[in-house]
Structure 1
Amino acid sequence: MPLVLLDHPLSSYAQKVKIALREKGVSFETRMPEGFGSGRIDNDFGAANPRTEVPVLLPERGEAIFDSTVILEYIEETWPAPALLPPAPAARARARIIEELCDSQYEAVNWGFGELLWFRRAEGELAERLDAAARRDTRRIQAWLTAQLGAAAWFGGEHFGWADAAVAPMLNRSIHYGLGPDADSPLALWHARLIARPSVQQTFAEFDAAAVAMARMADYYRTDGRRREYRDHRLEWMIRSGGLSVVAAGIEEHTIRFSWPGQS
């Protein structure tokens, strides 16, 4: 049985893992899990990951591995070359810090903007307030990332690495949303270098195709057919940005869910 990645092409976490696997030349196949977005755990997906979140890596031997950071660690230990983490402990810690901020703060802002753009969770004044918050927070995060990049070609210095794989899907989604950095800025030039890499080209092409499909399916997510997961950092962003009524409406209409073990 080949290496399998339970995946959704729009997941920034899954994109990060796919970029890492492709950088290392690891052969794998992707599969959309049964019941994705429903919150159901009484199936193979729930058995592999009780949180029913992608990505999940299914090795040829052994148990399923979930959580994108844990998967990255497994990939780095199983296929050490080319290395994505730098050799020095301080540099490795810095790469993990960049990843952590992207996985929490940056993902939450992108996700919240997607709730407006794709799923129309708010209208009128509330939509304007949430839109402004997403734009403000995106600028702040991109300014921090620009400082982390400095004058280097990559976040790890001379070579593409762990932090680049983590930033890649987050910044690319901002650009897709029209919230990218200024042209010719260090971050925009980094993105230009990034999309020249075959591992990234293939991953982003999958994202682009799925984004078109998601735009067509947005109304389905406004029913109880699939429910968007309001994980901790996403819920925090929505509430502190003024969207408490969005959460209340989602609970009432049964169009949102929360993480295991407290499924809504």
Structure 2
Amino acid sequence: MKLIGYFRSSAAFRVRIALNLKGLAVEHASRHLRKGEQFSADYVALNPQKLVPALVLDSGEVLTQSMAILEYLEETHPEPPILPKVPADRARVRALALICAADIHPIQNLRVMSYLRQKFGQTEESAFAWSRHWIETGFEAYEATVKDDPRTGAFSHGDQPTMADLCLAPQVFNACRFKVDMERFPTIRRIHAACMAHPAFAAAEPSRQPDAEP
């Protein structure tokens, strides 16, 4: 398999963690999003969405959308699991994951920030303020959901990483880039610390990727 990503991409970060957790070795390739390499003809032919990540299977089939890739990896390599066995618990984990992957990430990612600057004349700081607002809004919901729930353990659900944590850790990385005050979210900070102490998360961290930049 080959994973095409970008070191700073939250979506690619999620998939890297899952691959590490499940002990799957892949070839890594990069498309530099800030240089527009995702718009090159060869990549558009591979992934018409012009986004990362894309996971190229040994069969040549191309999987896109990080959440779909996570589900594929869970179905094809179920150990260790990133979803609980009980249906209601699976729903809880998916809901937590989607706070980050659906409610926060899509409206504060690179292409949205670029559009705000280019089409609406926003400054770098006002675009950052936009991102902070939506991260904080999502984190308020996440914090309230996990802080007093007895199903929350060392991680977002229990004492082993789940899909929720795979989405939370990259979003905390973004929150720090956008100068979100993480003191407001003590449970998220505690869970994030547990995540980044785990070898699978640490190895997936952006600064440790071959295409990492300062």
Same fold, TM-score > 0.5, yes or no: yes
Could you tell me which of 75, 94, 97 is aligned with 2:95?
97
Counterpart for residue 206 of structure 1 = 208
Q: Secondary structure at 2:183's aligned position in 1?
A: coil
Counterpart for residue 4 of structure 1 = 2
Counterpart for residue 147 of structure 1 = 144
Identify if the C-alpha distance between structure 1 residues 8 and 129 changes in structure 2 by more than 3 Å, giving closer, same or farther.
closer
- Map of 1:43-62 to 2, 5 A cutoff? 43=42, 45-62=43-60
Deviations 1:204-253 (A, max 9, x none): 133697352xxxxxxxxxxxxxxxxxxxxxxxxxxxxxxxxxxxxxxxxx
| Contact 2:139/2:185 (<8 A) preserved | no
Counterpart for residue 74 of structure 1 = 72
| Contact 2:128/2:178 (<8 A) preserved | no
Deviations 1:47-82 (A, max 9, x none): 221112111111112411111111111111111100
* Range moving further from structure 2, 78-87 or 132-141: 132-141
Identify if the C-alpha distance between structure 1 residues 16 and 180 changes in structure 2 by more than 3 Å, giving closer, same or farther.
farther
| Contact 1:10/1:207 (<8 A) preserved | no
So what's the TM-score if we normalise by structure 1?
0.67
Question: What CA distance in whole angstroms lies between the structure 2 residues aligned with 1:106 and 1:191?
Answer: 17
Question: What CA distance in whole angstroms lies between the structure 2 residues aligned with 1:134 and 1:54?
Answer: 20
Deviation of 1:190 after TM superposition, in Å, equals 1.3
Q: Secondary structure at 1:65's aligned position in 2?
A: strand
Q: Secondary structure at 1:210's aligned position in 2?
A: coil
Deviation of 1:134 after TM superposition, in Å, equals 3.4
Identity %: 26
AA of the residue aligned to 2:165: D
Deviation of 1:143 after TM superposition, in Å, equals 1.4
- Map of 1:148-187 to 2, 5 A cutoff? 148-151=145-148, 152=152, 153-182=154-183, 185-187=186-188
Counterpart for residue 42 of structure 1 = 41
Deviations 1:111-144 (A, max 9, x none): 279948xx89633xxx665544433333221111
| Contact 1:9/1:210 (<8 A) preserved | yes
Counterpart for residue 247 of structure 1 = none
Count of matched residue positions in the alignment of Structure 1 and Structure 2: 204
Question: What CA distance in whole angstroms lies between the structure 1 residues aligned with 2:135 and 2:111?
Answer: 10
Question: What CA distance in whole angstroms lies between the structure 1 residues aligned with 2:196 and 2:208?
Answer: 13
Matched, 1:122 2:119: no
- Map of 1:210-225 to 2, 5 A cutoff? 210=212, 212=214
Show structure 2 runs of 5+ residues with no match.
none
Deviation of 1:150 after TM superposition, in Å, equals 2.2
* Range moving further from structure 2, 103-112 or 161-170: 103-112
Q: Secondary structure at 1:6's aligned position in 2?
A: strand
Q: Which structure is higher in RCO with an 8 Å CA cutoff and minimum separation 6?
A: 2
* Range moving further from structure 2, 146-155 or 200-209: 200-209
Show structure 1 runs of 5+ residues with no match.
213-264
Deviations 1:144-190 (A, max 9, x none): 11122224221122221111101110112102332141078111111
Question: What CA distance in whole angstroms lies between the structure 1 residues aligned with 2:125 and 2:19?
Answer: 39
Counterpart for residue 19 of structure 1 = 17
Deviation of 1:15 after TM superposition, in Å, equals 0.5
| Contact 1:171/1:180 (<8 A) preserved | no
Counterpart for residue 238 of structure 1 = none
